[in-house]
Structure 1
Amino acid sequence: MNEIKVLLVEDDADDHAIIQHLLLKIPNTRFLMDWVTHYDAALKSLATHNYDVCLLDFHLGAHDGLEVLAKAGEKMWETPIIFLTGQGEYEVDIRAMNLGASDYLVKDQLTAALLERSIRYTIGREISRKALQKANEELEMRVQEKTADLAKANRQLRQESEKIKLFAFSVSHDLKNPAISLYGLTERLFKNYGDKLDEKGKTHCEHIMASARQISTLVEGINLFIASKKTPLNIENLDLVETLAAIRAEFSERFRSRNLEWSYPSTFPLIRADRICLERIFGNLVDNALKYGGDQLGRIQVGVSETEHYWILSVSDDGIGIRTKSRDRIFGPFMREGNVQQSEGLGLGLAIVKELVGKHKGKVWAQSGPLGGASISFSIAKGTS
């Protein structure tokens, strides 16, 4: 037989007797009932005892049941309350439910079956509420633990990243000075004693100087790549016509020597971005087209469009294009198209582009271009600040 602890808050002895009689008629359940008759006793009982359910009358002399409901909600007592009244009053019903009553019963219409059903449903809902509350608390605790673990992992990752950057700077510094010395000594050897060297010796000197220049260029590229991760942005309104005019001047000699056509729109929307970053992005993309466009390269074109949240900029060419399987990996460090031994550059240019675009909350991607060759596009978030 089930046992249910009940608190009855009722100031009328006859109504107390009626409710006690109805509870006795409910089969398979033993009700252990405490009876109090006024406001203060109700509050004390709810605060100090653990009941399965409370049956609360509306009229309690100087106070009423709504005041008990309000205080129970304020104190966050967990005993579910079934509100009782002598006659159906819609406004009292609504107020009782808004204050947290689990059910509302009219005493004149009360039967043992109705009372049993209300008590059973109220206790069932309370059990479900507590189970849900426990699950939410456990979930919140797990989220907090995972958040703390993630924060710790992020701190460790930042620390390791700083160590790697420091190591890269140290290595690049240690490499560059010997490379410069090696180049200078070899150049002096070639200049002062070149007439005493045979062709094989002269070729060796040229190879040594070329390797020293390559090491120096590699060091500078690594430093630029690291700087692209560390340097803070200086966001301002940019006129891209001026930026692209500067890019054209930078590459003008290479354009003329290869008889290349360079074009971009005569007008651009005002874009908010870091000027130095954007010049570096366009410079690297143009340089990439010149290096990997092939002998058929004849035209490089800049495009612009926009969506609701992004500006979309692109550099396209009519060169040999990019193999489909290479389109994602070309943005990794030291990745180069074609024969690595024959390719120019270090494979850092597009990796730097990806870092700088990411700092502007955008993405970079490669695709077949409108000119038949390669097209590399990148987005810049309009909300960058």
Structure 2
Amino acid sequence: MIPQPSPTATEPVTSASDFDDFIYVLSHDIRSCVRASLELPQWIEEDLEEAGVRIDQPLAEKFGLMHTHMRRLDRMLGDLLEYSRVGRMQTPRPVDLNAVLEEVLHRRPLPQGFTLHRRIEGRGPHMGPIDAERLLAALLSNAAKHHDRPCGHVSIETQEASGLCILTVSDDGPGIAEAHRNSVFDPMTLLKSRDELEGSGMGLTIVRKIVHHYGGELRWCMPADARGAVLEIRLPTG
């Protein structure tokens, strides 16, 4: 039998924390370059105009395409940064979801034409307050962004049971086909092309990471109507 080497202090250790550190550094540094590159097409256009060079329609379209793709990359990197920050720089404590929801709606209101029903009851989850805000912001954004109509309705309800805060988020959108209900939590996953729907595909990935980080679980439930999606999240209250 060939003896297996025992681990030593000098050997690298791969962990979720190490991976998050890697994502944070990589995303932060690359995003700085992307932010500068976002301005590049505009600088080129300005220089051409000053030089008296006429920008024809095909060239203007190419500049627009450059800006669109750089903006998408910037959004992806921003959401990767959010993903890597889950659980960082915050102390878990009992969270008042009513107050968190107010803050989220103040910073990122639902699109015009959307209504929100809320019923927050019982104790809130025991978690980092920044992550609680990330969680609700991602859930609301996902419900509105993937709706197929200009007007829609979103519901957020909580109840306490057996030491758990049960958070249920539902909407009256097109719903999610059963075949995609697991894959939508994977990073960079969109059920439509990015030309049809702007987004990084990281919203539900961030939701899942937050829930699992605080010892919770999540599952899709059957909507009461033919349309819509219902996501149930269970998080410990303490």
> What TM-score, normalized to structure 1?
0.53
Matched residue SS, 1:345 = coil
1:184 aligns with 2:42: no
The reply on whether 1:291 has 2:148 as its aligned counterpart is no
Report what 1:239 is aligned to.
96
Amino acid at match of 2:100: T
SS state at 2:210 partner: helix
CA shift for structure 1 position 323: 0.6
| Aligned-partner Cα distance in 2 for 1:339–1:188 | 29
The offset of 1:335, in angstroms, is 1.7
Residue of structure 2 in register with 1:224 after alignment = 82
Does the C-alpha gap of structure 1 residues 169 and 249 become closer, same or farther in structure 2, counting only changes over 3 Å? closer
Work out whether 1:208 is the aligned partner of 2:32.
no
Report the Cα distance in structure 1 between the residues aligned to 2:74 and 2:30, rounded to whole angstroms.
8
- Which 5+ residue runs of structure 2 have no aligned equivalent? none
Which protein shows a greater Rg? 1
Specify whether residues 214 and 355 from structure 1 end up closer, same or farther in structure 2 by C-alpha distance, changes over 3 A only. Answer: same
Match of 1:251 in 2: 108
d(CA) in 2 for partners of 1:255, 1:173:
29
- Structure 1 contact 277–356 (Cα < 8 Å) conserved: yes
Contact 1:296 / 1:318 at 8 angstroms: preserved in 2?
no
Is there any run of 5+ residues in structure 1 with no aligned partner, and where?
A: 1-148
Per-residue CA distance 1:17-36 (angstroms, 9 max, x = gap): xxxxxxxxxxxxxxxxxxxx
Is the Cα–Cα contact under 8 Å of residues 239 and 268 in structure 1 kept in the other structure? no
Q: 1:263 corresponds to which residue? A: 117
Pairing 1:373–2:228 present: yes
Alpha-carbon contact 2:95-2:132 (below 8 Å) kept: no
RMSD, matched Cα: 2.7
Q: Which has the higher helix share?
A: 1
Distance 2:73 2:160 in 1: 40
What letter is aligned with 1:243? V
Cα offsets for 1:224-253 (capped at 9, x unmatched): 11122x51652223322211122222333x
The share of aligned pairs that are identical, in percent, is 19
Alignment-derived partner of residue 361 in structure 1: 215
Higher mean C-alpha deviation, range 189-198 or range 317-326: 189-198
Q: Any conservation in 1 of the 2:94–2:237 contact (CA below 8 Å)?
A: no
**TM-score (normalised: structure 2):** 0.83
- Judged with a 3 Å threshold, the aligned counterparts in structure 2 of structure 1 residues 158 and 262 are, in CA distance, closer, same or farther, namely farther
Match of 1:321 in 2: 175
1:245 match: secondary structure: helix
In structure 1, what is the equivalent of residue 127 of structure 2?
273
Asked if the contact 1:296–1:320 (Cα under 8 Å) also holds between the matched residues in 2, the reply is no
Q: For 1:203 and 1:247, locate their aligned partners in 2 and report how far apart those are by CA, in whole Å.
A: 36
3-state SS, counterpart of residue 246 of structure 1: helix
Number of equivalences:
227
CA distance in 2 between partners of 1:234 and 1:170 (Å): 22
State the alpha-carbon separation in 2 of the partners of residues 369 and 188 from structure 1. Answer: 50
Displacement of 1:298: 1.2
Comparing 234-243 and 315-324, the one that deviates more: 234-243
